[in-house]
Amino acid sequence: MAESDNIVVETAEKIFADLADPQTINNDRKEAWKVPLWQALSEAGLPLAWVPDDLGGSGASLADGFALLNAAGRFAIAVPLAETMLAGWLLAQAKIGSPEGEMTVLPANPKDRITLNPDGSLSGRVRGVPFAKAAKHFAVLAHGAGGVSIALVDAGKTKIEAGLNVGYDDSDVVTLDKVAPITVKPAPKHLDQTTMMLIGGVARSLQIAGALESMLNISVRYSNERVAFEKKISKFQAVQHNLAKLAGESAAALAAATSAADAIANATAFNDEVYLEAASAKIRCAEAAEKGGAIAHQVHGAIGFTLEHILHRYSLRALAWRDDFGSESYWAVELGKLVANRGADELWPLVASR
Amino acid sequence: MTAALRFDPIRLPPKCEELRKEVRAFLAEEMARGTFNPFKPNREDTDVPEFSRRVGERGWIGITWPKKYGGHERSFLERYVVTEEMRVANAPTRRFFVADRQSGPILLKYAPEHIKMDILPRICRGELCFAIGMSEPNSGSDLFAAKTRATKTDGGYLINGTKIWTSSAHIADYMIAIFRTSQPTKENRRHGLTQFLVKMKQPGIKVNPIGQITGQHEFNEVVFTDHFIPDDHVLGEVDGAWKQATSELAYERSGPERFLETYYVLTELVRAVGNDPDTRSAEGIGRLVAQLHTMRRMSVSVAGMLQAGKEPVVEASIVKDIGTVWEQQLPHRVRDLAAFVEETAGNRETLERQLDFAIKTAPKLTIQGGTTEVLRGIIARGLGLR
Ligand SMILES: Cc1cc2nc3c(=O)[nH]c(=O)nc-3n(C[C@H](O)[C@H](O)[C@H](O)COP(=O)(O)OP(=O)(O)OC[C@H]3O[C@@H](n4cnc5c(N)ncnc54)[C@H](O)[C@@H]3O)c2cc1C
């Protein structure tokens, strides 16, 4: 997806290019870039892309939003854009309007749970919440006696233990101890924690695919510049083959992630076929992040291992994104169970369903 | 240059779903009739002429070709569906598949009209088997080292030399081959090869069988001794075969046959594991299914781009590279996971027999149709590295 024919993506790419140039960001240890970037994104209505107009958002389609996340991955954007989009989307499912400012979703791990108590308060301890520290509000999916609910919570009412993921981005533990939500409403029937995890997983898959695309591009460029043994290293067959493999991993990630995004954007129901698409995307993109990232570093030699170089902005984030909304091992077990449960003769029909 | 890989999320249109049902029903009929057993990929008899004819009757060979040559003017995506259903069912397609995928399209493009009118309808009826004569004892990856000579004579050419690894040559009616018509030039070592249509079972052609490590007979050595080929059997430009041979590779490289050759072991693993798998089996199956699904999405995407008239050369090479590596690893991963399958699993013997065959098959998957190394060279070129 080099050129975009999509106005949302074009807008975002322009903002990223102007205000989130990876090299500039990488040199800026004080993170002064964050405020103007977030401001520009907000003015363009991008963090609330998935919130309908009547709930205060910009009402972009699911498809456009997913394409935007792919672009964010290409720039390895480290502000809670994906998280705020997901939170806005979740709240909108229960017709809850989105407030301004950064948000994130809870839980971000399929095995964590938040409980809606009989008195209407929320309790639970959830780990690995991306950008919890930066968020002003949380969109929460909770389980109560009446089923699944969606709540808007003031982040200030919760206890946050700061942490960092592998990519040096905030990944925090959040504890809700009988927190009164700002709003809480029942979730629509089709929506449960699994759906939310899969959609979060697809968001991460698109980001990983974008990061891999950039890793491929900067690795190809570097191999055409770096000279060793009096040749550009791109002329060594072993290096070419490594880059061809990286292209394969990048391609697999892109294909899996965009296919899953398309499946969700056009889904009428969250059936087995959509589940296959979404779970596969997270599994395959995580595998690609591991294999592709290793090659990108190999090609860059020691320079790519420095903090000064931008490579780690992509490689470490792609590795970190594997963990959010269910790791590849988690989804592989779940997908394996689903396949086994349907039975051997139903496997091919499932794979060939679209 | 930056690499802008494209993999649009192309979906098969509803027409394809109809066709898929028809193909499945047909294959079920053939199994019931005993034509082939999908659970025995190493079936003794892999050549079933009547099966080809019945596939032809259904209109599933030359599906995209013009009607005037016996084709059906259907879409490339419909062809895709037929190929994948045949492959997944382990149907005996050997007799017609090469002609359907490669030889027919070459004839369509380069053969004189009277030859097209004669041969293409017979391919579509499933009556003809084609072989590909590219490799020689000292020329495999390096196609341009081919030495078998075509010497100009009255009204045609005399062929002398040896082709090798020629699949199906022992049952083939025709071969499309490249022969040396002149020496390479200093500027272009690819120059001097010409593509010919060869009628098999003629004087001056001797086919010697070569066994394979699977125990099957597919390979042959084909020896030409003053074999005569008439002028109208030259395909395309004399001395210019290299352009022709490299231009249509996307069709050959990205199809479902490039990642489904060992698929049967995965189905049988799922059967053996049963519907309540332990965590290890579930995870193993889940990963393989995610990889398979991704491969297929990539392959369908390339098929859709071809249908739309694009030329996704790098994308197609990538699909073949990671597809063949995947189908090569699959039997070994399944073997890993099958180690703990209960003794009592009903299909245990079938699974073991399939694994035995698939493991023996695996080594060839990354060699046939161009090796991994050669493909990665093509991808590297596409990335602007050479
Ligand atoms: C099952 C099967 C069916 C086949 N059917 C046919 C057929 O019908 N018709 C036909 O013409 N051929 C057929 N082939 C032959 C096939 O196309 C060749 O085997 C293939 O092109 C490789 O050539 P080779 O075997 O001579 O190996 P070589 O070219 O000798 O290669 C040996 C090794 O060296 C590597 N190598 C060679 N050159 C380079 C390079 N420049 N850079 C890096 N590595 C290199 C290769 O990748 C390979 O790993 C078939 C092969 C198989 C396995």
Nearest residue (by CA) to ligand 1, atom 27, is B140
CA B265 vs CA A208, A334, B32, B39, B327: distances in Å: 31, 21, 21, 9, 10
Q: Following DSSP, what letter does each residue of B137-165 receive, concatenated?
A: TTBSS-GGG---EEEEETTEEEEEEEE-S
List pLDDT tens digits, range A29-41.
Answer: 888 999 999 999 9
Task: Return the SS3 of A266.
Answer: coil
Contact criterion met (CB < 8 Å) for B293 and A245: no
Contacts of A1 in chain B (CB under 8 A): 4, 6
Judged against a pLDDT cut of 60, whether residue A4 lies above it is answered with no
Contacts 24+ apart (CB under 8 A), A45-49: A46/A8, A46/A11, A46/A12, A46/A15, A46/A81, A46/A85, A47/A80, A47/A81, A47/A84, A47/A85, A47/A88, A47/A102, A47/A103, A48/A84, A48/A85, A48/A88, A48/A98, A49/A8, A49/A85, A49/A88
Give the separation between CA B169 and CA B222, rounded to whole angstroms.
Answer: 7
Pairs of CB atoms within 8 A across A/B = 197
From the CA of A263, how many Å to the nearest CA of chain B? 9
Q: Is B371 near ligand 1, meaning CB less than 6 Å away?
A: yes
A293 membership: H or E segment, kind and range = helix A272-300
List pLDDT tens digits, range B75-100.
Answer: 999 999 999 999 999 999 999 999 99
Give the separation between CA A182 and CA B99, rounded to whole angstroms.
Answer: 68
Q: Which of B165, B207, B253 to mutate to test the pocket of ligand 1 (most atoms within 8 A of CB)?
A: B165
Contacts of B291 in chain A (CB under 8 A): 283-284, 287
Mean pLDDT of chain A: 96
Give the nearest chain A residue to B287 (CA atoms).
Answer: A332
Q: Angle at Cα A222 formed by Cα A218 and Cα A228, nearest 5°?
A: 160
Judged against a pLDDT cut of 60, whether residue A2 lies above it is answered with no
Give the separation between CA A144 and CA A118, rounded to whole angstroms.
Answer: 8
Those of residues 313-332 in A touching chain B at CB distance below 8 A are: 328-329, 331-332
Residues near B206 by Cβ (< 8 Å), separated by ≥ 6? B222, B223, B225
**What confidence score (pLDDT) does residue A6 get?**
86
Give the separation between CA B232 and CA B200, rounded to whole angstroms.
Answer: 16
User: Percentage of chain A surpassing pLDDT 70?
Assistant: 99
List pLDDT tens digits, range A97-136.
Answer: 999 999 999 999 999 999 999 999 999 999 999 999 999 9
Mean pLDDT of chain B: 94
Contacts of A351 in chain B (CB under 8 A): 289, 292-293, 296
List pLDDT tens digits, range A249-295.
Answer: 999 999 999 999 999 999 988 999 999 999 999 999 999 999 999 99
β-strand partners of A186? A149
Judged against a pLDDT cut of 90, whether residue B251 lies above it is answered with no
Per-residue pLDDT, averaged over A176-187, amounts to 98
Question: Residue-wise over A8-41: b if at least 16 C-beta within 10 A, else e?
Answer: bbebbbebbeebbebeebbeeeeeebbeebbebb
Give the separation between CA B99 and CA B217, rounded to whole angstroms.
Answer: 19
CA B29 vs CA A117, A177, B35: distances in Å: 59, 64, 9
Atom of ligand 1 nearest to the CA of B370: 21
**What confidence score (pLDDT) does residue B174 get?**
98
Task: Return the SS3 of B65.
Answer: coil
Per-residue pLDDT, averaged over A190-197, amounts to 96
Give the separation between CA A268 and CA A272, rounded to whole angstroms.
Answer: 12
Alpha carbon of A242 to ligand 1 centroid (Å): 20
Nearest residue (by CA) to ligand 1, atom 5, is B167
Per-residue pLDDT, averaged over A314-337, amounts to 98
Question: Helical H runs in B125-257?
Answer: 241-247, 249-253
| Amino acid at position A99, single letter | P
Per-residue pLDDT, averaged over A327-346, amounts to 98
Is there a contact between B263 and B87 (Cβ–Cβ < 8 Å)?
A: yes
First and final CA of chain B: distance in angstroms?
Answer: 12
**What confidence score (pLDDT) does residue A1 get?**
40
Task: Return the SS3 of B341.
Answer: coil
Q: Which two tokens stand for residue B46?
A: 């892999």
Question: Helical H runs in A46-149?
Answer: 62-74, 81-93
**E-state strands within chain A:** 103-106, 115-116, 122-130, 137-144, 147-154, 159-161, 171-179, 183-186, 227-228, 231-232
Those of residues 215-274 in A touching chain B at CB distance below 8 A are: 216-217, 220-221, 223-224, 234-235, 237, 239-241, 243-245, 247-248, 250-252, 254-256, 258-259, 261-263
How far is Cα of residue B335 from the mean position of the Cα atoms in its chain?
26
Is there a contact between B290 and A283 (Cβ–Cβ < 8 Å)?
A: yes
- Whole-model pTM? 0.96
CA B189 vs CA A71, B145, B184, B186, B239: distances in Å: 44, 9, 5, 6, 11
Give the separation between CA A325 and CA A90, rounded to whole angstroms.
Answer: 14
List pLDDT tens digits, range B263-272.
Answer: 999 999 999 9
Give the separation between CA A164 and CA B151, rounded to whole angstroms.
Answer: 73
Q: Following DSSP, what letter does each residue of B89-107 receive, concatenated?
A: TT---HHHHHIIIIIHHHH
The pLDDT-based confidence of B248 (bands split at 50, 70, 90) is low
Give the nearest chain A residue to B15 (CA atoms).
Answer: A354
Question: How many other C-beta atoms can be found within 10 angstroms of the C-beta atom of residue B14?
Answer: 8
The ipTM (two decimal places) reads 0.95
Contact criterion met (CB < 8 Å) for A333 and B301: no
